[in-house]
Homo-oligomer: A and B are copies of this chain.
């Protein structure tokens, strides 16, 4: 799809500055834009990308100083919303695939597919599985035995849900997600790690989205739980028997060890880790790369390894970077003290000499 800048200005009610015939084929961030792109200048932090941008025009807010560029401009009251509308116009969302089961899909005779379900090429639905209305299974999806999937879910190519796990409604699994692999549990006896059966399941609530290649292990007993509305990024590890509350955010490459309990509205930032058997209260935030070794209170923000309250840890981090100065100060203190010790000894000697009439 392609449009002139004039058409786009009229589409979103923006003020146009510059050549109205400028042709726009796509939208982009200003840092990665090129010819044919309309680039959004999100906020002033993006100004630094302006000199090198390849964009054909900019979408800016009313505060933007037009002298900062020679590019044609669309000036919108709410540039973010305008961008959304233009993006949807230039690149309409994918059409919903036709309902039905592709002839190459393997669906067990006793599996139940709700109305409007889409099963694409080479998806596998095993015995006893139930797939809710209008759910889409893309190629190479596996729905294991006795799995239950709700309505309006979207399982991207290569997503795997193993036996007996359950998904609520409107769940999105991105490619390579593995739901229900065995938890990592062994008993060490006679020098050998013996596998403990992992008999539980995984239970994913409504409106959960799970990023590419993330893994959520089944419980040893009972269920690993992901609460409704929780959003999980790519390459995240959720372990057996974790219980994650509603509306949490788990950012890329973070991991929870087993039997960890997160409250609601918890954020675990990128590359953070949480020890097993930890409880994290509602609304807590675990900073990027933090290593949480003890419980986190509701509303608390922690950072560092072992994680502590963010205010305290930030102080420690600043001082960590000043450790060379600190050592220098201690060296100086030691020297000054030594000199003072000598001075006092000299005074003492002089006083004694004086008293003894020398």
Contacts and interface: CB of A to CB of B under 8 A. Distances in A.
Nearest to A231: B193
A241 interface: yes
Given A247-B192, A305-B289, A321-B316, A259 B29 contact: yes
B192 A229 contact: yes
Interface residues on A, range: 35 or more
Interface string A102-113: 101010000000
Nearest to A320: B316
Interface in A103-127: 104, 106, 121-122, 124
Interface of A is mostly: mixed
Contacts of A139: 106, 124, 142
A330 B327 contact: no
Copies of this protein in the assembly total: 3
A181 to B, nearest CB: 4
A228 to B, nearest CB: 9
Given A327-B319, A343-B344, A31 B259 contact: yes
A217 interface: yes
B212 A181 contact: yes
Given A93-B197, A217-B212, A319 B324 contact: yes
Contact of A277 (B45, B186, B333): B45
Interface in A252-284: 252-253, 255, 257, 259, 261, 265, 270-271, 273, 275, 277, 279
A134 interface: no
Given A32-B243, A139-B124, A181-B234, A199 B87 contact: yes
A174 B178 contact: yes
A323 B329 contact: no
A200 interface: yes
Residue of A102, A191, A316 with most chain B CB atoms under a 10 A cut-off: A316
A120 B297 CA distance: 48
A241 B229 CA distance: 24
Interface of A: 26-29, 31-33, 37, 39-40, 45, 48-49, 83-84, 87-88, 91, 93-94, 102, 104, 106, 121-122, 124, 138-140, 142, 144-145, 156-158, 160, 162-164, 172, 174-176, 178, 181-182, 184, 186, 191-193, 195, 197, 199-200, 207, 209, 211-213, 215, 217, 219-225, 229, 231, 233-235, 237, 239, 241, 243, 247, 249, 251-253, 255, 257, 259, 261, 265, 270-271, 273, 275, 277, 279, 288-289, 291, 304-306, 308, 312-313, 315-317, 319-321, 323-324, 326-327, 329-330, 333-334, 336-337, 340-341, 343-344, 347-348, 350-351, 354-355
17 contacts: A28-B221, A29-B243, A31-B241, A32-B219, A48-B279, A49-B261, A156-B181, A158-B158, A174-B182, A178-B212, A191-B265, A192-B247, A213-B213, A239-B252, A273-B288, A319-B327, A340-B340
Closest 5 CB pairs of A and B: A28-B222, A181-B212, A319-B323, A178-B212, A212-B215
